Structures are given as structure tokens and as C-alpha cells.
A and B are shown apart, each in its own frame.
Chain A
Amino acid sequence: MSLILVAVISLGAIGLISAVILYVASKKFAVYEDPRIAQVAEVLPQANCGGCGFPGCSGFAAACVKAGSLEGKMCPVGGQPTMEKVASILGLEAAASEPKVAVVRCNGTCANRPKLTQYDGVRSCVVANSTFGGETGCTFGCLGCGDCISVCQFDAIHMNPETGLPEVDESKCTACGACSKACPRNIIEIRPKGKNNRRVYVQCVNKDKGAVARKACAAACIGCGKCVKVCPFEAITLENNLAYIDPAKCKSCRKCEMECPQQAIVAVNFPPRKPKADAPTAEKQTVGQAAIASAAKPVAVKNETVNMVSAPAAEAPKNTEA
């Protein structure tokens, strides 16, 4: 009996002493952490994607609290609403930012860009890119091994088995940039979503000379410069035989899209153009222009042809504008 008593008393005493030591230590060596960091972290989406440029959501929260200004800080996943919440916690102004989306700048579908060889190595774009120029004649285009798909945390990018190209689901894409970083050929660009989700961009990254590029792919930018000439806003630059549309300057007039002889410039989420009696639009609208479905086709078809165009229902009435 006394044995049990001794055990209880001695263990109790050890526990008591340890508790006192721990209490004192926790007070003496306490590290002050701004309680706002935890509050900010709570409103963040906890995707830990790193799209903001900081190591995870807690890293971003700490940076927001420490910086004292939200200038240049943006959670791509949560977007503007989340940043406003963060701003209200910190008593700061949320920096206005444009919503962005990932765009795949390659239209080298199986039809446009026939395969010349067959790759049987590791199904990884980085490995394939370091090994050879690709299964097709184009050494700049999509390799189709799907590195971008495996890194996406939001299930927003998928391989289309028919075209062999990845397609971005606009409604799910948060523009975290993981796919863009994973792509060894820098094909995926994070572009502003544009007004009413409408944007115009060059769907090609081929820097080869025109004849070489055209031979490799029917939808390649050949660097002819027609778009540069036709653009009224000087938004298009031509470098290394490749046109690039500056999203900051582009006013989405779509003149370049009409002008491009290769249909390498695409305009997405635009309402169908009004058919002109004499215009040979039907001929011009081939693969590259699938995004602007001809006037005869309703919006529903548009969604089918290009998956990346997930036209929201609210868009439909606006179609009458054009």
C-alpha cells in the first residue's frame, strides 16, 4: 500500500516541478508572434501553391503583416475578395489587381503539326525537352507529356486527347503559375483575363523563320509582321520571328486576328462576328480560329470546340453587342 503511495507522491512531485519549469520557460522564452498573421492565414485559401511568390500561405500571411502595405501582393487563388479580407484585418488598402488566367500558347494539334517521330522515353516534358526536339518538326511547341497537368493543384488543366494539347479550364484556373513554371518550353503564359474574359493572344511560341515554322506546323506564327502593321495601338511586337501581344496595350479590337494568315492569333470569349455577305470568313475560320465560332453556331458549340473557353452564362446576353 505504502509502495503505491510513494509512487503517486513522487510522480506527482516530479510532474509538479516539471509543470513549474515549463510554465516559467514558456513565459521567459516566449516568441511574440503578431496575432494578425494567424488571422490573415485563416482567410487565405490554404492551397500552399506558392503562386503568390511566398513559401505557402503562412509565408504569404507573414509577409503581408510585415510589409505594412499590400502593394504588389496578390493571392492568385483567392483573388480580389480574399485580398480585401486581408486588407480589412490589417487595416490596409487592397491593391487593385487584374484577375489572370493561364493560356497555352501552342496550337500544334495533331492535325496542324503532324508527328514525325515517336518518343518512347520517360513521359515527362523536362526529360523529353532535354533529350530531343520533340516528336514533330516544331522544336518550340508543346511536347504533350503533361508536366503542367501533374503540377496543377486545382484540376484546372487537362490534356485533350484529340489535339494532344493541354487545355485550361478558365473557371478553375487561379493563375498560380505552377503550370507556367513546370513547362520547360515556356509555352504557358499567365495573362490578364481581360475585360469580360475576352482576350486576344498569339497562340504560338515558334521562333523559327517563317518557311521552317510553317513547314513544321500549319498554325505557326511565321513572323510576317502583318499584325504589327494592322494594330492601331502598337500593342504587338515582333521579335525573333514571333509576334507578341502586350496585354496592357491591347484593346481587343481583333484586327490582328483577322489579318493573321496562319490563324496563329486567337480571340477567346468574343461573341461571333456578324457575317459579311462577301467576306470569305467561312474559309478563314479553320483550326486556329475555332474560338470564334461562326455566326451560325450558337454559344453551346463554342464551348465544345475550345474547352478553355468556359463562357459563363452571364456572357450570353452580351453577345448582341457586337
Chain B
Amino acid sequence: MKTFRIGGVHPAENKLSAGKAIETLALPKQAVFPLSQHIGAPATAIVKKGDVVKVGTKIAEAGGFVSAAIFSSVSGKVNKVDSVIDASGYRKPAIFIDVEGDEWEETIDRSKDLVKECNLTPEEIVAKIKNAGVVGMGGACFPTHVKLTPPPGCKAECVIINAVECEPYLTADHRLMLEKADEILVGVQILMKGAKVNKAYIGIENNKPDAIKLMTEKAAAYPGIEIVPLKVKYPQGGEKQLIDAVIGRQVPAPPAIPINVGAVVQNVGTAYAVYEAVQKNKPLFERVVTVTGKSLKNPSNFLTRMGTPMSQLIEAAGGLPEDTGKVIGGGPMMGKALVNTEVPICKGSSGVLIMNDKEARRAEPQPCIRCAKCVSVCPMGLEPYLLATCSAHGDWERVEHEMIMSCIECGSCQFTCPSHRPMLDYIRLGKGKVGGIIRARNAKK
């Protein structure tokens, strides 16, 4: 069975909610839409206080080419355009909408029938995806239309669908595959057409045998789509790791991107969103979110409207347990601890993980014993201990030379370190600084 070449770790899977069917969550009282839900320029609000919106009404326009529009997930009145505390505690501009009823835009096809045929040209597909505000649903939130528009000189050869879900605990993609297999496969075909390729691979880790079986059966009816079962290893869901695992090509160091090796990688959730956007005229305003945790009464998968506060999801899953240590947005490996449970669900929120006090506590860092475990597990072939030390001392030249920008922040180094060294904290800092230095240098040129 295939997997990526270098590094990787095996964290405990803890897929507690894998057996739970997707439930539709009740509407929130007030929905909050941060204007920056994606990589790139923030969107610009096009509604003001007092405006009446429906479900699917565009409320913010894309702020540039690498940006995405935002659509209301609820019907009601705009309360204010103000700032909201985001997951990291900083205030970011956002639109607040008071929910009244549940009235949808007429253009949206709300029937449950599967629409297979798509007679649009690739350009029309990309335009439709762009107009629906679709971004990568795996967490990075890169605008999908940008990925489907290869830069000059590059040509896509295949679409790779990321259905790996290598983060422990999370099961949103797994459930989506089990319940919406046909829709996903149609979405993949649309993506293939949009990227002008006739080959697509769906990479699924073999800890989801039911999904592999179902998808393989269904994919027989869709030419050009191949299901690739993968050996379980974290971080297989990383774009570069997945390309290596599925087609055996390695993406060179930045600024090279996957398209340089002919691959367009999309999340399985994105494929579903593309299906809905193109075939059902439904912009991206809801997604499946896993709410999980060992102490949580009822770990579940919810189909959630964007803008719903996380506290409502936690409430629906049995309420915040007494021994909560941390509430994490995303999975345990790459997710971020939240400062506040009122943080709204955004396009990239794949899960809410509640860690109990014991799990959440970080062990006291000890001196580095030079075991080089971090080096052997790094999926990018870097030397995390060196990057962390140099970042801590502010030696930005050295860390740039040591390829800090290649780091995908998967956290394998910190996970495996027997001395519990907080390497990723320093590497993230270094990445931020070096990124700034590189941008300043490019701006000068």
C-alpha cells in the first residue's frame, strides 16, 4: 500500500464520532461572518446595518484575485458590521446577522436529486466556483478557483482528492464520503473538467475501509476516477505528502507549488462544495463539522451553517465537560486552542475538539538530548531542532538557509520529541519573520 516517503508519525486515531451520521444543526440566533475566512485578501462587506438578507445572499465581495466572496448562511437582518474576536483572540472585521426565519434565495436548487450532467465549459465552471465563494475545506482555505487557474507555463495533469483526514479525532470527511459519495464523485468530475484533465485520484487512508469500499464501488460508474487506499501515517493529508503518496512525485521547495509537478489537490469537502455550487447553484455557506473529545457526552458530526458560534455545537454535543482543559479549533495536531467558544464556524473549521485537563497539559520542556527523532519524523526532511534553536535566537538568515519556509507546521517534531521541546512554537515564529523578510526583499526588487 502506498504512502509518502520521508518521516511521519502515528498518533492515536481516536475517531470517536466515525459511526455518527451527519446531523443538521439548528439555526443560530445570530450568525457572525468574519471577512477574512480564507488565504489572501480579506473580503469587502457589501451589506450595511439594517439590510435584509436571505440564505445564500452575497454579503461580501472578494477583495482580490486570491480571495473569496462570503455568503449569508441565514436569513434575517444585518445587525452591524463590526469586529469579532477570532480564534486567536485578535479582533477581525465581521458581519453580524440577526436570524429571522429560514428563507432561501430562489436560485438555489434545494431538491435532493443527484444532478450528474454538467455541460459547462471549463471557464464557466471556474467562474461558477469563484462566484460561489468556494475555498479549500481542509483547513487552509485556499480559494479553489485560483487552484484551477494554473499560472502560465504550468499544466495540470491530474486532480488529487484529499480524503485522507489524517488528523486524529476528525471524522467530517469520512462521514461525508459515506453519505454523499455520488455527489462527491460528480464534484470530482466537475473539478477534472475545470482543471482540464481526465484523471483523478481519491486518496483515502485505510483506517476508513467502509469509505474505500463504497467509493470504489461507486467510482466504477465515473470514468477517470481512481480510488487510492493509503497506509495510515500522519501528515498524509498535507498537500505535498499526498502528491508523493499518490503519484510518487515530490514538490520542490517553495516557491514551487503542486501545479509545478502537474497536480491539483482538492479536499473531498471541496469536491462536495463544488458539486453544490455548480449543479445546485448553492454558494458555500454550510459545512460538516466534527465536535469531539474524550470527555464529551456525545461526539457528533454536524452539518452547520457558517457563522454559528462554536458554543452552540458544543451544547448540541452534550455541553462543555467539567474537566475541559482546552477547546481546539481543528484537530489535535494542527488545530489552534481557542480563547473563546463564541468563535464562529468559518469555511475552514473542520472540527471542534475538547481536550480534558490531563490531555491538554503540555509537559515541561527538558534539554535537547540530540536523539534526532524530530529529524527522522519530519515529512519535509528538515532539521526541526536546528530551526527552533536558530529561531529562538533570532538568526533569520540561518533559518532561511535551512529552508524554514518548507515547514508545513504539521507538528510531528514536537509530537515525537522525548524532551517535549516546543519546537513548533519557535518554527512558526521563524516562518512568520522569514516570510516577512522575503516579501520585503521581493517588494524591493
* Interface residue ranges, A against B (CB under 8 Å): 116-117, 120-122, 124, 126-127, 130-134, 139, 208, 212
Contact = CB atoms under 8 A, between A and B. Distances in A.
Contact of B428 (A117, A131, A133, A139): A131
Given A117-B339, A121-B362, A122-B425, A130 B89 contact: no
B257 interface: no
Contact of B91 (A122, A132, A212): A212
Interface in B51-84: 83
A131 B422 CA distance: 13
B415 to A, nearest CB: 15
B85 interface: yes
Nearest to B326: A120
B426 interface: yes
Contact of A134 (B89, B340, B428): B89
Contacts, number: 44
B85 A130 contact: no
A126 B436 CA distance: 15
A242 to B, nearest CB: 14
A220 B91 CA distance: 16
Given A132-B89, A133-B90, A127 B425 contact: yes
A133 B88 CA distance: 6
Nearest to A136: B89
B370 interface: no
Contacts of B428: 127, 130-131
Contacts of B362: 120-121
Contacts of B340: 116-117
A126 B91 contact: no
9 contacts: A117-B339, A117-B340, A120-B362, A122-B422, A124-B392, A130-B428, A131-B428, A132-B337, A139-B90
A127 B83 CA distance: 24
A139 B425 contact: no
Q: Is the interface of B mostly helix, strand, loop or mixed?
A: mixed
Contact of B429 (A130, A208, A212): A130
A193 B336 CA distance: 43
Given A116-B339, A117-B339, A133-B339, A122 B426 contact: yes
Contacts of A208: 91
B432 A130 contact: yes
Given A120-B361, A133-B85, 16 more contacts: A116-B340, A117-B89, A117-B339, A117-B340, A124-B392, A127-B426, A127-B428, A131-B88, A131-B425, A132-B336, A133-B88, A133-B90, A133-B91, A139-B89, A208-B91, A212-B91
A199 B429 CA distance: 36
A139 B336 CA distance: 17
Interface in B76-115: 83, 85, 88-91
A8 to B, nearest CB: 51
A124 B422 CA distance: 12
A117 B88 CA distance: 11
A256 B426 CA distance: 42
Contact of B89 (A121, A124, A133): A133
B338 to A, nearest CB: 9
Nearest to B87: A132
**Which of B89, B361, B425, B428 is the most central at the interface, judged by chain A CB atoms within 10 Å of its CB?**
B89
Contacts of A122: 422, 425-426
Contacts of A116: 339-340
A164 B89 CA distance: 20
B395 to A, nearest CB: 14
Given A117-B339, A121-B422, A122-B422, A127 B429 contact: yes
Contacts of B339: 116-117, 132-133
Nearest to A121: B425
Contacts of B361: 120
A179 to B, nearest CB: 15
Contacts of A120: 361-362
B336 to A, nearest CB: 8
Contacts of A130: 428-429, 432
Nearest to A208: B91
Contacts of A124: 392
A131 B361 CA distance: 17
Nearest to B88: A132
Contacts of A117: 89, 339-340
Nearest to B85: A133
Interface in B403-445: 422, 425-426, 428-429, 432
